[in-house]
Amino acid sequence: MNKSVRVIGALVLILVGVVAFLIWNFTRPNRMGGDFSASFQGQPWSFSQAPRRVNLVYFGFISCPDACPLTLSHAGDAFTKLKATELEKVRLIFFTVDPHDTAAKAAAFASGFYKDFLGVRGTEEQTLKATNLLGASFMIEQQPKSFLGYSVTHSDRLFFLNSSGEVIDSIGQPRSSEEILNKIRSYL
């Protein structure tokens, strides 16, 4: 008798667990994201190598004199306000979408705004994968009359990823260091 009760109890618990998992699995937000790779200072780099609790990603290009430096300087301001214990849990990745940029220049560009910002460059395939995973986009258009000879249109959005690479939040037109700082802290 006691044995039967225990078996039935165990089965009920398992059933409840399965039902709870199915409910959670079907009702959780369908997040974008995933692992993506590129080159960092000439070496292969992937998001999953050393993810932090909070990972910020911005897609841009080095010859951008306006939106990209604005975003990165605000993000740099936010990072300088974080405590050492907070900085251990967060990082920023600047991913250039411009094939004219080199990995070395991308790294130098990003670290100019904050010493630990990572500047990476991918192949065309890697760049497309990264932007698609995060729901970003970019377009390179020929502009023969301009000095550069081309223009770059890109998402102006700072993505917040968890340690699994899932997009947990984002800021469009990120032009406030306070907003970036508050969002980082809300996920630490």
Partner 1 sequence: MNSIVLIRLAFCLLCLNASVSFADVQVSDAKIVLPAKGSDVAAAYGTFKNTAANEEVVKIKTLGPFGAGEFHETMSAGGQTSMKALDGLRIPAHALVHLEPGGRHLMLFKSKRPLKAGEKIEMVFEADGKTVPVKFEVIKRANLGH
Binding to partner 1 by residue 142, rule CB under 8 A?
no
- Amino acid (1-letter code) at residue 24: W
Map the footprint of partner 1 across residues 36-65, applying CB under 8 A: 62-65
In the complex with partner 1, the residue whose CB is nearer, 33 or 76, is 76
Residue found under tokens 């102006």: 156
Query: Least distance from C-beta 112 to partner 1, angstroms?
Result: 3
Query: Least distance from C-beta 22 to partner 1, angstroms?
Result: 34
Size of the site for partner 1 (CB under 8 A): 36
**113 CB contacts (<8 Å, ≥6 apart)?**
69, 72, 73, 75, 76
What is each CA distance from 98 to 10, 46, 106, 178, in whole angstroms?
58, 18, 10, 29
**44 CB contacts (<8 Å, ≥6 apart)?**
37
Query: Least distance from C-beta 13 to partner 1, angstroms?
Result: 47
Residues that bind partner 1 (CB under 8 A): 62-67, 69-70, 72-73, 104-109, 111-113, 119, 137, 143, 145-148, 151-157, 172-173, 175
